[in-house]
Structure 1
Amino acid sequence: MTTLTSEWAVTGSGVVVDAVPAMFPGLTWAGDELLASYSTVPDGWPGGTVGVVRSGDGGRSWSPPHTVAEPADGLDAVLNAVGMTTLRDGTVLLPYNGVRWTPGEGVGGRVISLHLLRSADGGRTWTGGAPIDLGFHGPCVYGRLMELPGGRLLWPVWGQRTVAERWRSVLLESADGGHTWSVGATIGYDPDARLAGAYATPAEGGLGADGNPDVARTADPDFRPHSPIDGFTETTVVPTGDGRLLAVLRQQGVGGDDTMQLFGSESADDGATWTTPALIGFAGMSPLLHRAADGAILLATRRFAPEGGPTPAGVEVRVSQDGGRSWSAPLPLRDPHGYQHTAEYQCGYPAMADLADGSVLTVFYSYAPGRGRFLAWNTLRLGGTR
C-alpha cells in the first residue's frame, strides 16, 4: 500500500568524491567522523579498487580519496557495495569482493571471492582482507552488516551456493566480532527465476566480441551490464524497532517478473527464519533500508527506468511509519550538478547515516557529462523544505 506523502524533503546536496570514478558507496560513523567507501569500477570490471574518504563536518566536505584495497593474488578487480558498518566497540568492518574474469566467458564467468577489512582507528589503517571461504560459489557483498543486541553479526550477501543454481539472498553469521563466519538462513530463493525480454539482452553490455570485458565501455553514459543468471540479489536488512527484522530484496525474473518489482521479507527470530518474500508494490534496484532517529523507516532505491520507457532515471526515497507495511510516494533525490539522468545505470546505490541535527545524510553515485560517475550527497529532513 502507498500513502500520498512522505513528509520528508531534500534540504541540501553536494559532492563527496569526483576526482576518480566512484560508485557503490558505504557510509558509517567512525567516532566523530563520517567514513564513506566506494568502488572505482562497476560490477567488478578489471582494474577496480576500493577507497575511502572521511568528513569531520557532517558530510559537507570530504578528505581526498585513499585506496584501501586493490586487486592482488590473481584478481582482476576488487569492489565493495554499501555494507560498511561500525561495531559498538568502534571497529569498522568493510566488506568487499575480489573478482577474477574467465577469458571469453563474459559476466557469467566471473569468479568471486569474499573479503573483509577491519579498522580499529576510525578507518585510518586497515587489517585483514584474506579470502573468506565458506563453500559458497559466488558470494556478492551488498547489505550493511548488522550487530544484534547480543553481539551476533549478520551479513547479507547474495549469489550462488553452487554453480548450477539461480541467485539467492542469504545471511552470513559471526559470533566472534566478524573474525569467523558461517552461512546462515536463506532470505529468498526461486529455483525457476528467469528474466526474459529486451531488458535481459541489452544491445551492448560492456563485452567485446570475444566475450571479454571492454574496460572503455564502463565510462559510457548508457553502460548497463547484464548477467545471464537470475533470482534474488541485493538485499538490505534493518531492525524495525518492534522485535522484527525487515528485508527488501532486488530480483531478476523471480516468478517470471520482468519489471524488477521489489520483494519484502520479515524475521521474528533475529534472522534465523524468514517469511516467504512477497511483492511490496513497486519496482526498484539497489535498495537501502535505514531506520531514522524518529523511528521512520526509509527505503532508498534506484528507479526501474528502462531505455525508451516513460520513467526518468534517478534515485528516490520512500518512507514507512508502520515498520515497512506501507510506503509513501517516492521522494526524488537531487543531483548536485542539476543533471537529469538519461540512462538507468548513471546513478544508484544509496547509503544513509543519521546526523546530529535530526536529518539523514544520503550518499549515492551519480553521473555528469565530462565527470563520469561520482559520489553525491543529499540531506533529508522530516518537515524540511526543498
Structure 2
Amino acid sequence: MRQHHRRDWLKLAGAGLAAGLWGRGAYAAATIEDRRIISWKPPLYHGWPTLARRKNGELLLAFSGGRETHVCPFGRLELMRSKDNGLTWGWPQVIYDGPIDDRDAGVVETAQGSLLMTTFTSLAYQPILEKAEKIPAGQPGAWDPHLLAEWQAVHGRLTAEQRQQELGCWMLRSTDGGVNWSARYRVPVDSPHGPVALTNGDVLYPGVALWTPERKVGVCLSKDDGVSWDWIADMPTRPGDDPLQYHELHAVEAADGTLICHIRNHNKPNAQETLQSESSDGGKTWSTPHAIGVWGLPSHLLRLRDGRLLMSYGYRRKPFGNQARLSEDHGKTWGEPVTLSDDGAGGDLGYPSTVECDDGTLVTVWYEKLKDSPLAQLRQARWRLG
C-alpha cells in the first residue's frame, strides 16, 4: 500500500503554483498529511461511500460492500467507525443485506443525535446475467461456471414479481448511536450522500424519486427526526434541460441561512459539471440551477467551523482523482480546485465526502478501482487547508 505523508506538500505546492491550486482571495493550499487505503476486505469491491462526523467526534463511514463489481447482485450496506479522526478504522458492520443489489450509502447524524442511513435498490445486474446465461459453456465470453451459479443463486431467491417489489429508495434509523437499527422504510427520494441536518432540527433530503411512475427531482423535509418525509418542492429545470438528466443531489445550510444544493448534470450544456440551486425560504422554493464552473461529479457539501463551504467531487478525466473547492461567500462563488488525489487508473472512482475534525484536520474518503486490481477499494486523505 502506497503511503503519502507531509512530503506531498512539496509536490502540491509546486504543482499549485503552476496549475492554480490556490483559492481566490486568501490562500487555499492543501497539506496532505496521509493518503491510504482503508478497506479491510481487498478481495471485495467497495462503492459510493459517505463520511459523517458525530457530535462526539466519532467518524462514520457508510458504503456499499460485499460486491464483486460496479454492477452485481451482491451489494449490501456496511458501516465503519473511527474514534481517532481517521487514523484507524474498526471492522465493518453489515447494517442491511437485502435480496437484490443495495447501492449508494448515505449517513447523517440529526440534531437529536439519531443516525439515518440511506440506500436504493437496483436490478441493473439482471440484463448482465441474462446475457451471460445465453453464452454456452466453453465459448468465447462464457462465464466461469461457479461465478454464473452464484449470480443465479442470488437472483433466484425471489420471483420476478418480488424483485420488482424490492425496488425503491430506503432509509434505516438508529437512536442508540448505531448499535441497533430500525427496519428499512421507504422514503420519497434517493441521493448518494443522503440528507443533511439543519440548524432548526429539521432534516432536508434533496434527491431523485426512483422506481416511481413519474421520475421527479426535488426536495423532501422531515420534521420528526427522519421518521416521516414530506415532498416540499420540485427542483426547477433550466430552459432546454431534460430533468431526467439531473442526478445525485446534495445540500448544505450556509452560515447566512441560505440552502445550497448541488446537482450532477448530464444535459449537453455543462455536461458532467456540477449545477447549483439556492433556497432562501427553508427549501420551499429554489432558484433555477446554474453552472458554477466546476467540471466533476457528484458533489458533497460541508460547512466548515469558520463558516466557509467546502465541496468535494470526483474528477473523472485525466488526471483521474478527486478535488475540493472552497466558497468564502456562502456559495455565491467557488475558488480554484485543490487536488486530493490524481493517480487514478480510470473513471471508476470518486463520490468523495469530507468531514472536519476538532483539530482542523479534514478527512475525505472516496472509492477507487485500483491500477493493480479490478476491485474498488476505499481510499482516504487526511489533509489541512493552508
TM superposition score normalised by structure 2: 0.76
Indicate how the Cα distance of structure 1 residues 286 and 51 shifts in structure 2: closer, same or farther if over 3 A, else same.
same
Q: Does 1:15 align with 2:37?
A: yes
SS in 2 for 1:348: strand
Question: Any gaps of 5 or more consecutive residues in structure 1?
Answer: 195-228, 306-310
Displacement of 1:261 in angstroms is 2.1
Displacement of 1:316 in angstroms is 0.6
Indicate how the Cα distance of structure 1 residues 162 and 77 shifts in structure 2: closer, same or farther if over 3 A, else same.
closer
- Equivalent positions of 1:1-386 (< 5 A) are 3=24, 6-19=28-41, 20-30=44-54, 31-40=56-65, 41=67, 45-72=72-99, 76-81=100-105, 83-100=106-123, 104=127, 112-132=167-187, 134=188, 139-159=189-209, 163=213, 168-189=216-237, 193=241, 230-253=244-267, 256-257=268-269, 259-305=271-317, 311-334=318-341, 340-345=343-348, 347-368=349-370, 369-370=372-373, 372-383=375-386
Maintained 8 Å contact 2:364/2:382: yes
Tell me the number of residue pairs that the alignment of Structure 1 and Structure 2 aligns.
324
Give the structure with the higher percent helix. Answer: 2
SS in 2 for 1:185: strand
Maintained 8 Å contact 2:274/2:298: no
Displacement of 1:274 in angstroms is 0.5
Indicate how the Cα distance of structure 1 residues 141 and 327 shifts in structure 2: closer, same or farther if over 3 A, else same.
closer
Percent identity over the alignment?
25
- Cα separation, 2, equivalents of 1:154 and 1:231: 22
Indicate how the Cα distance of structure 1 residues 354 and 78 shifts in structure 2: closer, same or farther if over 3 A, else same.
same
Displacement of 1:371 in angstroms is 6.8
SS in 2 for 1:333: strand
- Cα separation, 1, equivalents of 2:270 and 2:303: 29
- Cα separation, 2, equivalents of 1:315 and 1:382: 16
Question: Any gaps of 5 or more consecutive residues in structure 2?
Answer: 1-22, 130-162
Alignment deviations for residues 94-139 of structure 1 (CA, whole Å, 9 cap, x no partner): 1111224595499xxx96402111122222221121334x5xxxx4
Q: Which has the larger radius of gyration?
A: 2
Maintained 8 Å contact 1:171/1:185: yes
Per mean C-alpha deviation after superposition, the further-off stretch among 281-290 and 36-45 is 36-45
Q: For residue 186 of structure 1, what is the amino acid of its counterpart?
A: D
Alignment deviations for residues 241-264 of structure 1 (CA, whole Å, 9 cap, x no partner): 0121111111111xx336312211
Q: For residue 127 of structure 1, what is the amino acid of its counterpart?
A: S
Maintained 8 Å contact 1:237/1:245: yes
Alignment deviations for residues 213-265 of structure 1 (CA, whole Å, 9 cap, x no partner): xxxxxxxxxxxxxxxx9411111111110121111111111xx3363122111
- Cα separation, 2, equivalents of 1:258 and 1:240: 24
